[in-house]
Amino acid sequence: MSLIRRLCLVYAVILLGAAAINYIPGLTDEAGLAFGIFALDPFDDALHLVSAIWAFLSGLISNRSARTFLILFGAAYLGDGILGIFTGWGYLDFGIFTNEALGMDWSYQRIMANLPHIALGFIALAAGVAARRA
């Protein structure tokens, strides 16, 4: 199994973990914030679960499907995280369409709330592009 296919399987595990955060005692505070930083609702959980299934199947099917997943997922999550820094909301959960923009904010809270999407998106996109060139 190639490195990019294994990476897809790792992403599946990470995304399943993200979908499970609200259901593991001790990971959310009394305000419902995961790790005291961000809130995940059932729509977010469903998005993470569908992404995990997509990553898992892509990793099992072929190198081409793995590259496609990494590029599309990476671009979508990276863009969502960057938009979250600038507006306070992302587009993957439709937050940018249903909430008023909060403006750009470089606070610890805003950075940490968007860092998972930025990091996962960047790594996936870079791996997918590098695999396409190889």
Give the Cα-Cα-Cα angle 91, 116, 90 (nearest 5 degrees). 10
Structure confidence at residue 69 (pLDDT): 98
- pTM score > 0.85 for this model? yes
Say how far apart CA 71 and CA 51 lie, in whole Å.
Answer: 13
Our CA dihedral for 104, 75, 19, 86, rounded to 10 degrees, sits at 0
Spans of all domains in the chain: 3-133
φ, ψ (nearest 5 deg) of residue 59: -65, -30
| Mean pLDDT split into 10-residue runs, the chain, 134 residues | 97 96 85 80 92 98 97 98 92 86 86 95 98 78
- 69, 62 in Cβ contact below 8 A? no
Structure confidence at residue 68 (pLDDT): 97
- 66, 7 in Cβ contact below 8 A? yes
